[in-house]
Chain A
């Protein structure tokens, strides 16, 4: 064991650090989230809300698409990040009940990088861009809401009408949706 120490001294000849008792340490997950947030680049259509600014692991992302079928709506996603981040992806859910082929009625989101394709090299910006993309290009081939996906696939006009009425708080096939229109 002694030799290890002499190797250590060799290694650190020029470095000066000291080890006084430290109390509260920033966790590795917190460090990574802090870094990710500082590198986030949000377009005008997205903003974050932190219910408790001291807790950066839990926040809401609001998306207000300015083009596409969902233009005019406002969608809130809760982000819950665990101490296992970035080994595990953030848990993301849509807070409103919306009509979307890739989001189910409970708010679960089918986005590959939130589950099967998550990798620790991905960051929060990648997730944010992915969520935005879902509103620009809803994808009928990975459906979570089968009815919406079928509508999108078979009759794009009907799908468009259904999106509009659901965003206004109306019903689609007997299912009522949350009103998400801005005005």
Chain B
């Protein structure tokens, strides 16, 4: 950290010629062109290989182009990554402009992914960013297969669980390219975390689900009877009053008229109970569950995520997430400053990575009943009362009774009429703590 005034030297490139295009990466290249104190000689061959990994071969997917996403895209581009894709389904809101620094007032209403991509590409020539405006669920495994690494800057647990399960299911033991490390950043006010997941190898998002603090909730009866805080009045308007008076209208939290209605209801309730402080923006915050985002926390977490990405791709230094080592960095800035890095253990009974789907060959002419009988013979599933379901269809539920009755006719039906070739079948049984999943192929 000492010398900040080094000359802008043009370092000789790997083949000895002066290479102007890499001049601006001179400092970066010094980490890639010589061994570091902690670099693993088995993994890291200084020189051309890591330089090319970062600048040419690495294909990075960034999920989210919001508070974290802007930082991540900027950091990746300034770390020399040149092949980046970014997914975000959102458009730019005026309230994003204070921290999502790739956006300007003229961009309000435009898609985040395309504006962010365009800005960074203009600022960092040679960097290629491909935006996709849409949901991660719109893309299939063939799309995710093209990347070497996925970085998430998301605010949704549902989206995290989806990409986690997708990357885990993509792992094919025959194909090294199918393993995509997942780096996940997250912030909430002054707190945040960054973590690295090697799908199927180390603790996954689903194993770590209890690390997400549940949304703080106030008992309904407090809202209904003795509100004490302005937020209680807003929640009351949101949960109770709306249902009472506008049941037939679907609440749209982006619709100003709806927020105004809730605000006025909350305000009059607050007056009734002598509570101060209900405002329009507080109403918006409570109803949309807006967690105040702090630009610097995003910067810290995004920086950590991108450093891990750089180390993972280049192998120039040990990264978070190797099996048996630390994989989770917690940052706490609200009660002093504290960071803690630890190994979150993989859970044997994780519903996503604890029991990976197995292949199951099924005779399409076989009935469901015959299939269930054949399960008894499988060593891993000496099942007593198996429940069978595919994504879209309940095949057989021995319990509860109503569902048993509704699914009983399926027992006599042929497998080819119940599911399609390649579909996933989930089997659970009270005798086992986790469910089994099978990828069915017809014989």
Contacts and interface: CB of A to CB of B under 8 A. Distances in A.
Nearest to A6: B176
Given A5-B176, A26-B390, A47 B181 contact: no
A38 B209 contact: no
A20 B175 CA distance: 11
Contacts of A136: none
Contacts of A119: 214
B158 A108 contact: no
A19 B170 contact: yes
A154 interface: no
Interface string B403-428: 10011000000000000101111101
Given A11-B201, A15-B173, A24-B424, A120 B210 contact: yes
B219 A143 contact: no
Most chain-A CB neighbours within 10 Å: which of B323, B351, B437?
B351
Contact of B243 (A16, A42, A106): A106
Contact of A110 (B221, B356, B406): B221
B400 A42 contact: yes
A116 B351 contact: no
Contact of B399 (A7, A8, A37, A142): A37
Most chain-B CB neighbours within 10 Å: which of A37, A49, A84, A146?
A37
A56 interface: yes
Contact of B441 (A2, A20, A88, A118): A20
B426 A34 contact: yes
B244 to A, nearest CB: 6
Interface string A3-23: 111011101100111111111
A36 to B, nearest CB: 9
A18 B174 CA distance: 7
B357 interface: yes
Contacts of B198: 4, 8
Contact of A120 (B141, B209, B216, B359): B209
B352 interface: yes
A45 interface: no
B357 A112 contact: no
Contact of B42 (A3, A28, A30): A3
A35 B428 contact: yes
Contacts of A30: 389, 391, 426
A49 B403 CA distance: 7
A54 B169 contact: no
Contact of A34 (B166, B169, B435): B435
B291 interface: no
Contact of A17 (B181, B206, B359, B392): B359
A24 B402 contact: no
Contacts of A42: 400-401
A99 to B, nearest CB: 15
Contact of A20 (B220, B221, B392, B439): B439
Interface string B343-364: 0000000011000111100000
A54 B392 CA distance: 6
B94 interface: no
A92 to B, nearest CB: 11
B407 to A, nearest CB: 6
A34 B395 CA distance: 11
A52 B351 CA distance: 24
A124 B443 CA distance: 37
A47 B123 CA distance: 63
Nearest to B206: A28
A102 interface: yes
Interface in A30-59: 30-32, 34-35, 37-40, 42, 47-50, 53-54, 56
Contact of B392 (A19, A24, A49, A102): A24
Given A39-B430, A53-B403, A106 B240 contact: yes
B81 interface: no
29 contacts: A2-B176, A3-B43, A4-B198, A8-B176, A8-B179, A12-B200, A17-B357, A17-B359, A19-B171, A20-B422, A23-B420, A25-B169, A27-B162, A35-B434, A37-B403, A38-B398, A38-B428, A50-B403, A53-B407, A56-B394, A82-B158, A84-B157, A87-B214, A104-B240, A108-B224, A108-B240, A110-B221, A116-B218, A146-B225
Interface of A: 1-5, 7-9, 11-12, 15-32, 34-35, 37-40, 42, 47-50, 53-54, 56, 82-84, 86-88, 102, 104-106, 108-110, 112, 115-116, 118-121, 142-144, 146
Given A32-B351, A35-B428, A143-B225, 8 more contacts: A23-B423, A38-B429, A54-B392, A56-B403, A83-B161, A108-B240, A116-B219, A144-B220
Interface of B: 40, 42-43, 53, 141-142, 148, 157-158, 161-162, 165-166, 169-176, 178-179, 181, 198, 200-201, 206, 209-210, 212, 214-221, 224-225, 239-240, 243-244, 247, 312-313, 315, 322-323, 351-352, 356-359, 385, 387, 389-394, 397-403, 406-407, 420, 422-426, 428-430, 434-435, 437, 439, 441
In the complex, the 3 A-B pairs of residues with the closest C-beta atoms, listed nearest first: A19-B172, A24-B391, A53-B406
